[in-house]
Amino acid sequence: MSEAEILETLLARFDQLDSKFEQIDKRFEQIDKRFDKVFNIFEEQNVELYNIKTILKNHDNRFSEMDYNIKKIHNQTVRLSIGQSELDLKIDKLNNLNSDKNINSL
């Protein structure tokens, strides 16, 4: 083989390698685009998750307030029930005293 033929085969092989590298570059560009899409999706989901987290914190605060109010109402109800029981006892005592007085007055 002459030098010219060797150079031509080398150049042909380099051209083949160049075309293969270009194909590989195109594939990498496609993969990069896919990764960009996935990254954008993750960013959107990150924003959505942050919003959900904020909403859940607000709900947690509201539930804490509701729990506090329910306990407060429960405690007030218990106190009222105890007061009502004491009042019922006093009324019963007064009724007994009145009935005793009525019996004695007869």
Q: What's the average model confidence in pLDDT over 16-43? A: 98
pLDDT (0 to 100) of residue 90:
85
pLDDT (0 to 100) of residue 97:
76
Which is nearest to 22 in space by CA: 30, 33, 35, 37? Answer: 30
pLDDT (0 to 100) of residue 92:
83
pLDDT (0 to 100) of residue 57:
97
- Model confidence, pTM: 0.54
Q: Is the dihedral of CA 34, 40, 43, 47 positive or negative?
A: negative
Going by pLDDT thresholds of 50, 70 and 90, the confidence category of residue 89 is confident
